[in-house]
Structure formats: C-alpha cells, structure tokens
Copies of this chain bind each other. A is one copy, B any other.
Amino acid sequence: MPAAIEFYFDFSSPYGYLAAQEVEGIGRRLGREIVWKPFLLGAVFKTTGAAPLLEIPLKGDYARRDMDRSARRIGVPFQIPQPFPFSAVPAARAFYWLAERDTIAAKDLAMSLYHAAFGQGHDISTPDAVAKTAAMHGHDPGEVRAALDDPAVKQRLKDEVQAAQTKGVFGSPFLRVDGEPFWGHDRLADAEAWAETGGW
C-alpha cells in the first residue's frame, strides 16, 4: 500500500477549509490515505515574517475575492467568521486528542469545526465552542474541555507544530506527497498529478 499523503492545515485558514473539502476525494481517487495534520500558522509566521493574509494591503483584498470565487467553484458555503484571524489552538488540540483514538472521528470533527467557522461564520476559537461542536458528534463536552487542558494533549500539538516546521511546512493548506511539498489550495491538482504519475 502506498504511503499516506500528509495534509497540513490551520483551523483558522480559509484556504485550509477549502482544501479540507477536497483532500479525501483526492485520497479516494489515488487509493491513498490522507493523514490530517493541523498545525499553527502563527508559530511559522514568526520564522517566515509573514503577516495574516487578509490584513496585507492589495493582497488581502485579492485573497478575499479569490476565496469567495474558489468556494463558489467547488460549491461550498464560505464566509470569514468574526473575529478573524482567530486562535486555532482549542480546535487543533481537540483534533489530536481524538485522533489518538479514532482518526476517522477526528476528521469528522475537523470538518464540522471548519464548517462552523467558514461555512456558518461561527466563532470556534474557544474551548466551549469546540466542546459544543464535538458534542454534536457524541463526544462528552466535559471530557473534551478536560482534554484541552491536558498537558499531554498540549504537548502533542506543540510537537506537531514543531514537526511541521521541521518538514518545511510554512503555509496552509500544505500537502506532502512522498516527501514532495505542495503549498496552497491552487496546488491540489498538481499534488494529485504528482502522486498519480510519480512526479516529473
């Protein structure tokens, strides 16, 4: 069985949300597992000196338009939640907590969190909001709240952020296909073609 494709994303990344709608389809077409790896862009931005995309003059206006357009093209609802940018720490911790036991359930939770934020415009930056979304999937909200403060869960996210950076991940979404990096929602097709053909 071919190696899994790594899908790096930040829960506060609009283009990450768009990519999340498509990566499992790519995995199915290729017959390859997609491993979801939420991380925190803020930590990487300290290294790259990047600013939050929507706050950049000219580029921010363009990005907003491109996000709307890209969402329309793949037929998913899209809006920028308020506040924005927001902290993705609780969402990412909840993901890894759940992924330790059930990776499918963790992906389902991730999709719901993304949908709440960028599909419906809700604030998912708080532990309460994350616990509420998790409860919709049958997870005990008290247990989720406790997990978000669990030192082991906190450390897991720190380790994942560090590992992502070590692998050169600096943006969201970011795919790694057999070690080959692909950055951006607009490179998903290239990533799939690379996996199909073995590269060029």
Tally A residues with Cβ within 8 Å of B.
Answer: 29
Q: Which residues of B contact A73 (CB under 8 A)?
A: 190, 200
Q: Which residues of B contact A2 (CB under 8 A)?
A: none
Interface set, chain A 34-77, CB cutoff 8 A to B:
44, 47-51, 56-59, 61-62, 65-66, 69, 72-73
Instruction: Return the chain B residue nearest A170 by Cβ.
Output: B58
Q: Provided the pairs A65-B181, A186-B186, A187-B186 are in contact, do residues A170 and B200 lie with their beta carbons within 8 angstroms?
A: no
Q: A168 interface residue, CB < 8 Å from B?
A: yes
Q: A86 interface residue, CB < 8 Å from B?
A: no
Q: Is the CB of A171 within 8 A of B49?
A: no
The answer, among B47, B56, B170, B184, for a CB contact under 8 Å with A49, is: B56
Q: Is the CB of A48 within 8 A of B44?
A: no
CA distance A168 to B62 in the complex (A): 8
Instruction: Please encode chain A, from 168 to 183, with 1 for each CB lying within 8 Å of some chain B CB and 0 for all others.
Output: 1111000000000101
Q: Is the CB of B51 within 8 A of A49?
A: yes
- Would you mind naming 29 contact pairs between A and B with Cβ atoms under 8 Å apart? A44-B58, A47-B57, A47-B58, A48-B56, A48-B58, A49-B51, A49-B56, A49-B57, A50-B56, A50-B59, A57-B170, A58-B165, A58-B168, A58-B169, A58-B170, A59-B170, A59-B183, A61-B168, A62-B170, A62-B181, A62-B183, A65-B181, A66-B183, A66-B187, A69-B200, A73-B190, A73-B200, A186-B187, A186-B190
